Amino acid sequence: MVDPAIGEEVGSVPAGGAGEVDQAVRSAYEAFPAWRDTPAAKRGEILGGAAHAVLGAVGELAPLLTSEQGKPLREARLEIRRFVHTLEHYVGLAKNIRGGYVPDLDVDTYGLIIRRPLGVIGAIVPWNFPTTLLGNKLGPALVTGNVVVAKPADTTPLTTLRIAEIMHEAGLPAGVFNVVTGTGEGAGQALVEHPLVRKIAFTGSTPTGKKLMALAANDLKRTTLELGGSDPMIVCDDANLEKAASAASVGRFFNCGQACLAIKRLFVFESVADEFIEKLAGKVGRLKLGPGTAEGVMLGPLHSARQRDLLEEQVRDAVDSGGEVLHGAKRPGGDGLDRGFFYEPTLLVEPARDSRVATEEVFGPALPVWRVRDMEEALELANSSVFGLGSSIWTADLNRASDAAHRLEAGYTWINSPQLVYDELPFGGLKQSGYGKEHGIEALDFYTETKSVVVKKAVATQELGGAEPQPSQR
């Protein structure tokens, strides 16, 4: 592993392959019956204890996360707390997992809908939020009685490994949560192909998601695919421009722009465009760049040289296409930043509408802005993407906002709000941003299978000893 701020090694882990994956999957498979048969409330209690232990280790985990991922320490602490918060959300739901009862299917016949866990879940996680994206899978999988084999990104395994240790020390039974390190093509692919794995919960890029979906089809494994995005933000002529500019700045540059839900395309009504862009440029200019460990830093390095190279190509294309650079579009000089993968926060105005920043996912600190005539044009451009993850609109007009919420092709729409994800609400993409839901009570549906049971009352009574119905004992 390389510290992205200084380009030096911070640790190493084994590159697991098919053998290690098989070992982990078998250990999970053996642990499954006992975990499945543990009462749900008890599973919740155990998971709650493990989550609490992780919270107690924030002081140790956050610097570890910063060293392998690059994000500022403040964001690393937030991420660990967020992981715990998500687990606690599912701990709270553990006692509320319900099936169904369908009366009067026929004379003397009723139906039950029972819910069962799937078994071994393969959880494949990227490097941008290594722990929260793990928590989104671990929480609903474990409270519903499944067992997990996680495969972190090969550049960010350290925090995940330490979290697994802490959770087991805090009482999570052996085999219930396993971690295999290694590359996507090695350990990742072996996990997807393993016959004892019943479901793949994947977060990552759209091209990898397509590949995994095809591989999983071989034995019809369940999949949840949380993929790339190119979230539009629409700023109308009646918006609170100050608040919208703050939301755009945080929404684009948090985690150095490496978030699936980052604002990646901004459409502003032309009548307020100059005023809005000036406010936004002021905020972008104040973002402090530096190593994640330094005080007051808001923008760390990009995660890898590869990410920065790709971003540079996309920005160059935007500029060549006619985009105006209002800030950044270059590497910073001096302050020792040349050792890491730093890139200045970049604001681009009016690159061509078919340039790469308009059509591809931009996974770094660059925000393209386009002026639009009206709502129709804004919606048309917003929906022109192959992605459909998040979206946001800023307006004082409730009718306009609710119309946009219905028409924006995305799994989430924020109205006059920064892009905050709530555990209470289901989250997942449309179009090439994937399918399936994480968060919310809805995520539980993706970790259980329902089964229908038909009960003939007369037969049931006979088999239970033929007893006549008794008066209630209480």
Give me the residues that bind ligand NAD (CB under 6 A), please: 124-128, 133, 151, 153-154, 183-185, 188-189, 192, 203-205, 208, 211-212, 226-229, 260, 361, 363, 389, 429, 433-434
Q: Map 313-345 to HEC letters.
A: HHHHHHHHCCCEEEECCCCCCCCCHHHCCCCCC
Q: Which residues pair with 9 in a beta bridge?
A: 2
Closer to ligand NAD by CB, 213 or 326: give it. Answer: 213
Closer to ligand NAD by CB, 124 or 148: give it. Answer: 124
Closer to ligand NAD by CB, 128 or 395: give it. Answer: 128
Distance in Å, CB of 209 to ligand NAD, minimum: 7
151 contacts 191 by C-beta, under 8 angstroms: yes
Closer to ligand NAD by CB, 264 or 327: give it. Answer: 264
Per the annotation, the verdict on 226 as an active-site residue is yes
Structure tokens at 13: 């882990």
Question: What's the CA gap between 125 and 129, in Å, rounded?
Answer: 8
162 contacts 42 by C-beta, under 8 angstroms: no
Q: Please give the C-alpha separations between residue 7 and each of 87, 334, 445, in angstroms, as whole numbers.
A: 33, 16, 42
411-421 per-residue burial string, b: 16 or more CB within 10 A, e: under 16: bbbbeeebbeb
Distance in Å, CB of 23 to ligand NAD, minimum: 18
Task: Give me the phi and psi of 371, to 5 degrees please.
Answer: -85, 140
Question: What's the CA gap between 418 and 421, in Å, rounded?
Answer: 9
DSSP secondary structure of 42-89:
HHHHHHHHHHHHHHHTHHHHHHHHHHHH---HHHHHHHHHHHHHHHHH
Distance in Å, CB of 225 to ligand NAD, minimum: 8
Q: Is 379 helix (H, G, I), strand (E, B) or coil?
A: helix
Closer to ligand NAD by CB, 79 or 226: give it. Answer: 226
Distance in Å, CB of 271 to ligand NAD, minimum: 33
Question: What's the CA gap between 261 and 258, in Å, rounded?
Answer: 9
Question: What's the CA gap between 2 and 105, in Å, rounded?
Answer: 62
Instruction: Give CA angle at 68 (9, 297), nearest 5°.
Output: 115
Torsion, Cα 287 293 296 302, to 10 degrees, reads 10
Question: What's the CA gap between 224 and 202, in Å, rounded?
Answer: 6
Closer to ligand NAD by CB, 66 or 206: give it. Answer: 206
Distance in Å, CB of 429 to ligand NAD, minimum: 6
Closer to ligand NAD by CB, 94 or 141: give it. Answer: 141
Q: Helix %, strand %, coil % for the chain, to 5?
A: 45, 20, 35
Q: From the candidates 20, 75, 88, 226, give the one annotated as an active-site residue.
A: 226
Q: Please give the C-alpha separations between residue 134 and each of 57, 86, 93, 114, 201, in angstroms, as whole numbers.
A: 17, 10, 18, 27, 10
Give the burial class of 123: count Cβ atoms within 10 A of its Cβ; 0-12 exposed, 13-18 middle, 19 or more buried: buried
- One-letter amino acid identity for 20? E
Distance in Å, CB of 85 to ligand NAD, minimum: 16
Closer to ligand NAD by CB, 229 or 351: give it. Answer: 229
Closer to ligand NAD by CB, 163 or 236: give it. Answer: 163
Look at strands 231-235 and 448-456 and give their pairing. Answer: unpaired
Q: From the candidates 75, 260, 344, 360, give the one annotated as an active-site residue.
A: 260
Distance in Å, CB of 235 to ligand NAD, minimum: 23
Distance in Å, CB of 361 to ligand NAD, minimum: 5
Q: Is 52 helix (H, G, I), strand (E, B) or coil?
A: helix
58 contacts 162 by C-beta, under 8 angstroms: no
Residues with active-site annotation: 226, 260
